[in-house]
Amino acid sequence: MESSLHRYRSQLETTPWFRGLPVELRDSLVSHATLITLEKGQFLYRRGDRSYGLYAVLGGALAIGTLGVDGKEALLAVLGPTAWVGEISLFDGLPRPNDVTAVSRTLLLHVPEPALQGLLDSTPRYWRDFALLMTQRLRVSFENAEAMTLLPAAQRVANRLLMIAGGYGGLNASQSRIRVSQDSLASMVSLSRQTTNQLLKNLESQRILSLKSGEIAILDFDRLRAASLGDPNP
């Protein structure tokens, strides 16, 4: 277990937040961690659950959102390696604010709540490091809210693809191949699947991206960025 955790630590250090932590905090998080695996569709936790600590995605992906009583899903993000989740409840001690579900078979690093509280009690300056993780997520949330309010549909789709590909501002690793279904993308940008598909097909016809089942490959980041800014001929 120790050797495998050491290997995963190297993976975690590819993401800016973890790489920027003090070495002794990185050591402590990994030394207190265990590995857990979720199958596709399995909940990591549900809205209203108590907090059991922090989690980092090592393989697969997690969907962050909320399922309404009518069965309609409000999907906020799909996070892959090496995103961390669960820090909000660490700060306020309140139940989980969202549902978190495995999009595919997903490997996670779990740092239990008692270990985190022990670290923070013994070294209070670490609170700032976890606050930086939360503020990173807040910035992404504000950007998403602004895009949903101000941008037309085509720009919203292009903007969200860029955000996912860029790792949500460093929350997880950047990628040129996005493993997300069109249904999930439609939910994230509050559009119908039909409209989302039409807009994606238009970008594909311009060779800005390529569509496969459950995957969107970005072929030209510059032109996708132009599309997100409303350029009629990206």
pTM of the model: 0.85
Residue written as token pair 């903007």: 159
At 200 the pLDDT is 96
Maximum pairwise Cα distance, the chain = 57
Same structural domain for residues 82 and 9?
yes
Same structural domain for residues 206 and 122?
no
Same structural domain for residues 130 and 159?
no
CATH number where 124 lies: 2.60.120.10
Q: Which of 85, 103, 109 is nearest to 43 (CA)?
A: 103
Same structural domain for residues 167 and 200?
yes
Same structural domain for residues 22 and 116?
yes
Q: And the tokens for 137?
A: 């997520």
Segments forming the whole domain that contains residue 168:
151-228
Residue 192 lies in a domain: yes
Q: Would you write out the chain's pLDDT as a tens digit for each of its 234 residues?
A: 455 677 788 899 988 899 999 999 999 999 999 999 999 999 999 999 999 999 999 999 999 988 766 666 778 888 889 999 999 999 999 999 999 999 889 999 999 999 999 999 999 999 999 999 999 888 888 888 888 888 999 999 999 999 888 888 777 777 888 888 888 899 889 899 999 999 999 999 999 999 988 889 999 999 999 999 987 777
How many structural domains comprise the chain?
A: 2
> Which of 137, 162, 197 corresponds to the end of one domain?
137
Residue 234 lies in a domain: no
> Which of 112, 137, 162 corresponds to the end of one domain?
137
Residue 89 lies in a domain: yes
At 68 the pLDDT is 63
Same structural domain for residues 10 and 88?
yes
Compute the distance between CA of residue 154 and CA of residue 172 in angstroms, rounded to an integer: 25
Same structural domain for residues 132 and 156?
no
Same structural domain for residues 26 and 75?
yes
